[in-house]
Structure 1
Amino acid sequence: MVLHNRVSAVELRKRLALEAFKRVTISFYQYAKIEDPQAFRDQLYEAFFKLEVFGRIYVAHEGINAQISVPEHHYETFRERLYAVPFLNGIRLNIAVDDDGKSFFVLKIKVREKIVADGITDPAFDMANRGKYVDAQAFNELTEDPETVVVDMRNHYEYEVGHFEGAIEVPSDTFRDQLPMAVDMLKDKKDKNIIMYCTGGIRCEKASAYMLHNGFKNVFHLEGGIIEYTNKAKQQGLPVKFKGKNFVFDERLGERISEDIISQCHQCGAPCDTHTNCLNEGCHLLFIQCEACKQQYDGCCSEACQTVNALPEEEKATLRKGVEKGLMFNKSRGRKKV
């Protein structure tokens, strides 16, 4: 069989819209030694394709990182196939908190150098020496102590729309930049309890190992990240200390954790936490936009992009020629203004 998608995105979205069954959005990861990532990738693709799994999966020598959507009627079979892999047997599956079943429309499995880009080159770094897990109850108890330091290991645009009460933001656009920044920012707190968290656990687990590698003593990381914390806190009747929306890297762009809206529309400043991508394909900027500004700017981030997006398709294609996507698609704190 062909081990990659050959159908257009337009057609795939149509098929998703016509599905008569429900889907479950799941994320999971595991740090483990994979000898042949390409062969493992191909085996996964064949198995998951047959089960109509959609999503994004990265495979590397250091392990696997996955965000996927599984048809409910295939869920048990999917879990059995996954757990049949020795290093994935019994792995925690993070179930989405706020799920419309439309998180993904295609299956993509890619081989990467690492499952999360970290910039670490020190051969002495060892993921086996990582921080201690804390679950929802332990997290709540530890954070009752004002001396506990809570560190958000997500990007600024994730932190902007939602974070734990009192959490420190490491203001960077990339995880690889955040790691040394976190060490520097917390250098006078090496003997304090430090809890690191992220969306599903993969970044904070590596960050905890990096902090220990750099001489920190009491480092913890939130088991399963924000997703698992929220599910467990609600199941156990615990106070949910996360405020706002949890940014997710799929079609939803966020899942509601609390009713608090802690961010503002980037165009008018009104309370808002809805992320969108500028409809001008030559820009595609990720930004926060309220409904009123969406109507005013036709889903674009600026009047300039609105003007370009209104042009005939041939003219827009001509304007896009030669544009470096990396310069236009910019999530940074220095994002362009209207």
Structure 2
Amino acid sequence: MQLYNNLSAKERAKLIEEAGQDRLTISFYTYAKIGNPELFRNHMFLAWDQLDVLGRIYVAHEGINAQLSVPAINFDAFKSHLDTITFLKDVRLNIAIEHDNFAFLKLKVKVRDKIVADGLNDATFDVTDIGVHVNAERFNELIEDPNTVLVDMRNHYESEIGHFKNAVTPDVDTFRESLPIIEDDLKDHKEDKNLVMYCTGGIRCEKASAYYKHRGFQNVFQLEGGIINYVRQVNAQGLENKFIGKNFVFDERRSERISEDIIAQCHQCGKPADTHTNCANEACHLLFIQCDECKEKMENCCSTNCQEIIHLPYEEQKALRKGQGNSNDIFKKGRADHLPFKQDLRNIFEVLQPNVLKD
């Protein structure tokens, strides 16, 4: 029984190109009680490997969180398999707005303690007592209500390139950081304000809404299906699109363009830009925003130091990486200290801007 990939990303990319078949990029999640995550993980891997499914899937006792791609011709078989599993029958599938056949190049199904790293002790509250799910039309109505506080539950590098108009975008590196910050800033409005949340596909809001209800918030709402589902509904129903910029996604595409607005800047020169780059130095691999001019000048690198390293012989680069863990900037991403434009901009913002939530 093969329970792991036996092809490299390069080999898989070649096979995809040779196949010449369109692939669909899909995400879904569900909270459910899984008694034996390891056994479930193995079952999923075997079934999906046969359907040429590729992606990143997390399985835990609390449920499953999946981002994947599947050949379009295999979609019906994939959906039929999901429907054979009780808690996945008719699960909402968030199908990407923009597809890329090379969005994923391996099938990775991993067992984790949680399907989202939220830092919460689930035993202390009812995780099923969630907020009210709202569709795109109702969401648009709610966020126009002056009694509503709209909160982006994503991280800084996600909201930086795109977010809903007038949303509070916490300056955090990880999801778990945002939970206490939002609660503290809204502590005096737990009963009189509408707390409306959104994220990429809905999974972070699902847990956050239950947590905030547990902490005493009376009017908690969440955008059903997240930004991905919102955009599909807006396009299908001819609704006003209130999202500006790009939607960050966790695959090789890195983002989907939702509106033509470019609301971010290159982290190296400050020009309008909203395209993320992973530093070409494998020992760094920092994710940051880079304009086309800097991309050419810096050769896809985040610093002159990294640029010098990529020109060293491969064995020397490999030796430099030996014994080194992830970069200290792995969570900072575009806020890394050696990206002066982004760092200076952040310092100015902290000095001049009041806390939006406390206005």
Q: TM-score, normalised by structure 2?
A: 0.92
**Over aligned residues, Cα RMSD in angstroms?**
1.2
Give the Cα separation in 2 of the matches to 1:211 and 1:312.
53
Shift of residue 123, structure 1, vs aligned partner = 2.3
Could you report, residue by residue, the CA deviation over 1:22-43 in whole angstroms, capped at 9, with x for unpaired residues? 0000000000111111111111
Shift of residue 333, structure 1, vs aligned partner = 5.9
Give the Cα separation in 1 of the matches to 2:257 and 2:61.
34
Shift of residue 328, structure 1, vs aligned partner = 4.9
Preserved CA contact (<8 Å) 1:287 1:331: no
Give the Cα separation in 2 of the matches to 1:208 and 1:70.
31
Shift of residue 297, structure 1, vs aligned partner = 0.2
Shift of residue 178, structure 1, vs aligned partner = 1.4
Give the Cα separation in 2 of the matches to 1:13 and 1:329.
26
In structure 2, the partner of 1:207 is: 208
In structure 2, the partner of 1:9 is: 9
After TM superposition, the structure 1 stretch with the greater mean CA deviation from structure 2, 179-188 or 252-261, is 179-188
Q: TM-score, normalised by structure 1?
A: 0.97
In structure 1, the partner of 2:276 is: 275
Give the Cα separation in 2 of the matches to 1:95 and 1:252.
14
One-letter amino acid matched to 2:177: D
- Residue 326 and residue 305 in structure 1: after superposition, are their counterparts in 2 closer, same or farther (change >3 A)? closer
Could you report, residue by residue, the CA deviation over 1:41-98 in whole angstroms, capped at 9, with x for unpaired residues? 1111111000000101101010000001010100011101001111111111001012
Shift of residue 146, structure 1, vs aligned partner = 2.0
Structure 1 residues 37-186: aligned runs within 5 Å: 37-121=37-121, 123-186=123-186
Shift of residue 147, structure 1, vs aligned partner = 1.9
Preserved CA contact (<8 Å) 2:283 2:327: no
Give the Cα separation in 2 of the matches to 1:329 and 1:31.
28
1:303 is aligned to 2:308? no
Shift of residue 330, structure 1, vs aligned partner = 4.1
One-letter amino acid matched to 1:232: Q
- SS of the counterpart of 2:241? coil
Shift of residue 170, structure 1, vs aligned partner = 1.8
Structure 1 residues 253-268: aligned runs within 5 Å: 253-268=254-269
Give the Cα separation in 1 of the matches to 2:93 and 2:11.
29
Shift of residue 163, structure 1, vs aligned partner = 0.2
Shift of residue 305, structure 1, vs aligned partner = 0.7
Give the Cα separation in 2 of the matches to 1:297 and 1:326.
19
Give the Cα separation in 1 of the matches to 2:3 and 2:255.
30
- SS of the counterpart of 1:307? helix
Give the Cα separation in 2 of the matches to 1:246 and 1:92.
19
One-letter amino acid matched to 2:45: Y
After TM superposition, the structure 1 stretch with the greater mean CA deviation from structure 2, 285-294 or 170-179, is 170-179
Aligned-pair identity in percent equals: 57
Give the Cα separation in 1 of the matches to 2:187 and 2:107.
42
- SS of the counterpart of 1:57? strand
Structure 1 unaligned runs (5+)? none
- SS of the counterpart of 1:325? coil
Preserved CA contact (<8 Å) 1:284 1:328: no
Shift of residue 122, structure 1, vs aligned partner = 5.7
Could you report, residue by residue, the CA deviation over 1:111-133 in whole angstroms, capped at 9, with x for unpaired residues? 00010011112622121111000
In structure 2, the partner of 1:322 is: 323
- SS of the counterpart of 2:144? coil
Preserved CA contact (<8 Å) 1:282 1:328: no
Could you report, residue by residue, the CA deviation over 1:115-166 in whole angstroms, capped at 9, with x for unpaired residues? 0011112622121111000100000111121221110000100000000001
Shift of residue 12, structure 1, vs aligned partner = 1.7
1:35 is aligned to 2:35? yes
Shift of residue 315, structure 1, vs aligned partner = 1.2
Structure 1 residues 326-337: aligned runs within 5 Å: 326-332=327-333, 334-337=335-338
After TM superposition, the structure 1 stretch with the greater mean CA deviation from structure 2, 319-328 or 234-243, is 319-328
